[in-house]
Structure 1
Amino acid sequence: MRHSTLPLAALLGAALSFLPGCESTKSSSPSPSDTRAQEPTAMKAAEAWKRARVGDRVTYSFSATQSSEPRGGGTARTLGGQLTLEVVAVQQPWVWVRLAYTDEAGKPLSHPRLAQDLLLPVRADTTRPLDVPYAGTASAETPSSAGRTWEAVRYVSDQRPVDGPLRTRVYANEPGPLYLTRGLLDANTTLSGFGAAGGIQLTLRELREGSADANASVPALERPLGPGAYYDRRVEVGPAPSEQRVCFAAERGYLLRTEGPIDTNAAPCSDFSQAEPEPLEEVLLSLPMEALSSGDWPPAAAASGTRGTFTAEGRDVPALIEQRTENFEGAPRVFSETYAAEPWAPGLAGLPYEARFQPLASSTEREVAGGKRESEGGTRLVRWGSWLGGQK
């Protein structure tokens, strides 16, 4: 993996500059039509999903840095390379998008969380109105990027006075192929407060429009980012154990997530009416930062644990089991967590991204007289798969 060599000071400076990485930028106070542009821009990007073609593709350069020292002390962790989104199949109302983080040469990154490409089925229509306005103070710009000059609006949201981040986003008024990310041209987030330092920058590098004649079969949903898939956990806490289901969907560039008790009288993942929509581009910005904050895989404590096998619905997954004993409320307790030794193992095919990097199982036991243990509860992954009826 080729790490970013951008120092923290340069990253912080880039967050305050005008559209870093672009050929030229002109900025001005927005006219009334500019400040109202976000609504039609979002609508144009949403409508473009209905015209998606196999081969539509956008590539961004990204650079992420994180340090626990706000003044730049200590060792900064970095990640850098390219992010590519490409339409690989269209079967209306579904558009299948493959996303991949790679190094500058297009080779897979070595960090386990970003080492594999992910699949993302997106509905080209909506099951309910979705409205997530662009956040921040707006100003009009005409940046040049990916060989084009764009009419665009920059949005700046500065939460540093309350220990929050500085966020800058630049969106094209006419998104074209950038409908995949709601017209995003450039994004920069600078961390601030609570001992955090660093940030991430994403800049448009290339774009390509697919062909109306291109066609491709729907791929198997083996490594889903989330949408189109679900997973169930058994929760044994309190007098009544239960099973909880986490469902994911995507509609016109927004990701939806629900979590709650399994409804045996309804089709899996059939109701996203209460899910909070999250723009896809914000999810893409968060993944490298999560990779930096989480460190290596497996977690250090689990790496020295016991090797074993995790089994769910006939699937066997190589696992690492961490156990530790602590005195809690006057009695020794044994805490156990089971992690996937290889989060991309074939036995986990179809499992949503977030669940691959969580404990597959966890439990707490209290030691009683005679060295025996009594269970005090735990959770366990019990099943997962795709809820897209008739789709792979």
Structure 2
Amino acid sequence: MSNTPSAADAQGQRFAAQQAADAWKRARVGDRVTYVFSATQGPTPGEADAARTLVGRLSLEVVSVQQPWVYVRVSFIDAAGKPLTQTRLSQELVVPVRSDVTRPVDVPRPGQMTTERPSFSGRNWEATRYVSDQRPVDGPLRTRVYANDSALLYLTRGLLEASTESAGFRTPGRLTLSLHEFQAGSAEASAAAPSLERPLGPGAFYDRRVDMPPTQEVLRVCFTAERGFVLRSEGPVAPGSDPCSDFSQAEPEALEELVMNLPWEALVSGEWPPGAAREGAQGTFTVGERNVPTRTEQRTEDVEGTRHIFSETYASDPWAPGLAGAPYEARFQSLDSLTERIGEGGERESAGGSRLVQWGPWLGGQPVSSQ
């Protein structure tokens, strides 16, 4: 049973959000939440393709507390507790989250609100459902259910259930997620901070050199997280500046939204490396003393009457040791891309490109650099 919330209910939601934020200060090693998820895409109307489905469990667990940093491990497993076979979900990720804030972060939960008392993980919850229907403008139908008392589920701001249904696209798709279990850690437990060998993003950065003849610049992408929100900033590298020292203009995204969308991305992206790169030429991408085995896709197209060659180089294994310290986002992009124009005499001339030139943790550790 549900009803439309009053102004007092809306005030209660703001209190719940603050409650979840404050709970990060009391984080304990062993705090954990686990969800079951299902992602489905297809079949395409009028086509012979079959629907594809990916199911599993998503867990977030505190593995170390070094105030103000709380280190969270994100993992994806199947019902038997084994890692999923999809490349994008096959490895555990580390997310350091600040328990305080360096700037105000207020991201309203979108949608129409109704209150309800659902049952998850063996107990009843006072909760609020948010429904945002963007289907009239070819957007998704998005539903989220959050516990009003979010302290027990602070790692995901009280999330109990979520679903996103795509609309306006040729191939339908749906992602669902619901709370399976939660666990409180121990005040006596302690552990050293884990290395940021495989960061989701926060605590790490990467630089790409972008060539657009006759200009060239290096763009830096930085990540941090504060009280359940991930902050991402991107911009030109200022000479002599410290990596990732300013997140004042960074766009925040709720941590639970970021991690729950990873299974959907894994499903729709398919196998790795992407597309024709799976059968592309083998090679090695080198930055500093790091070497990464690669596959390169190359294609030729006519652009306004001039022949162009497009090359995209990807890591054969995005979890290769040579990419240790790279944020998740950087691993699943091209490491090197190049566009060349072919002149009348067959000579090649660069028409632009980009290359990963530096990455690593800014929260301790040393970055990998081509310098």
TM-score by length of 2: 0.95
Letter in 1 for 2:109: Y
Identity %, equivalent residues:
62
Which of 154, 166, 191 pairs up with 1:179? 154
Match of 1:255 in 2: 230
Deviation at 1:158, TM superposition (A): 1.0
Match of 1:52 in 2: 27
Q: Distance in 2 between matches of 1:54 and 1:283?
A: 22
* Cα distance change of structure 1 residues 123 and 70 upon mapping to structure 2, 3 Å threshold: farther
Q: Is the 8 A contact 1:258 1:272 kept in 2?
A: yes
Match of 2:301 in 1: 326
User: Residues 165-314 of structure 1: matches in 2 within 5 Å?
Assistant: 165-314=140-289
Match of 1:14 in 2: none
- Three-state SS of the structure 2 residue aligned to 1:277 is strand
Deviation at 1:389, TM superposition (A): 4.0
Letter in 2 for 1:67: G
Deviation at 1:263, TM superposition (A): 1.5
User: Residues 1-392 of structure 1: matches in 2 within 5 Å?
Assistant: 26-67=1-42, 69=44, 74-389=49-364
Deviations 1:200-242 (A, max 9, x none): 1110000000000000000100111000000001111132211
Q: Distance in 1 between matches of 2:73 and 2:164?
A: 24
- Three-state SS of the structure 1 residue aligned to 2:29 is coil
Deviation at 1:323, TM superposition (A): 1.4
* Cα distance change of structure 1 residues 152 and 73 upon mapping to structure 2, 3 Å threshold: farther
Q: Is the 8 A contact 2:211 2:353 kept in 1?
A: yes
Q: Distance in 1 between matches of 2:303 and 2:103?
A: 47
Deviation at 1:91, TM superposition (A): 0.3
Q: Is the 8 A contact 1:250 1:256 kept in 2?
A: yes
- Three-state SS of the structure 2 residue aligned to 1:258 is strand
* Cα distance change of structure 1 residues 63 and 72 upon mapping to structure 2, 3 Å threshold: farther
* Cα distance change of structure 1 residues 148 and 344 upon mapping to structure 2, 3 Å threshold: same
Q: Distance in 2 between matches of 1:280 and 1:229?
A: 16
- Three-state SS of the structure 2 residue aligned to 1:50 is helix
Deviation at 1:33, TM superposition (A): 2.2
Gaps of 5+ in 1: 1-25
Deviation at 1:28, TM superposition (A): 2.8
Deviations 1:86-113 (A, max 9, x none): 0000000000000011111111111101
Q: Is the 8 A contact 1:57 1:177 kept in 2?
A: no
Deviation at 1:366, TM superposition (A): 1.4
- Three-state SS of the structure 2 residue aligned to 1:132 is coil
Letter in 2 for 1:55: G
Q: Distance in 1 between matches of 2:43 and 2:214?
A: 41
Q: Is the 8 A contact 2:126 2:149 kept in 1?
A: yes
Deviations 1:239-287 (A, max 9, x none): 2211110001111000111111002232110111111111111112211
Question: Please, which moves more after superposition, 290-299 or 41-50?
Answer: 290-299
How many residue pairs match? The answer is 367
Q: Is the 8 A contact 2:213 2:350 kept in 1?
A: no
Q: Distance in 2 between matches of 1:41 and 1:120?
A: 23
Deviation at 1:71, TM superposition (A): 8.3
Deviation at 1:368, TM superposition (A): 2.0
Deviations 1:18-66 (A, max 9, x none): xxxxxxxx42332432232221111000010000000000000000111
Question: Please, which moves more after superposition, 258-267 or 350-359?
Answer: 258-267
Q: Is the 8 A contact 2:301 2:307 kept in 1?
A: yes
Letter in 1 for 2:73: R
* Cα RMSD (Å): 1.7
Deviations 1:310-352 (A, max 9, x none): 0012210000111112222222211111100011001000000
* Cα distance change of structure 1 residues 68 and 275 upon mapping to structure 2, 3 Å threshold: farther
- Three-state SS of the structure 1 residue aligned to 2:265 is helix
Q: Is the 8 A contact 1:70 1:193 kept in 2?
A: no
Deviations 1:157-178 (A, max 9, x none): 1111111111111111111231
Q: Distance in 2 between matches of 1:72 and 1:372?
A: 43
Deviations 1:113-168 (A, max 9, x none): 11111110001001101001111111111111112211111111111111111111
Q: Is the 8 A contact 1:177 1:209 kept in 2?
A: yes
Deviation at 1:391, TM superposition (A): 9.7
Deviation at 1:386, TM superposition (A): 0.5
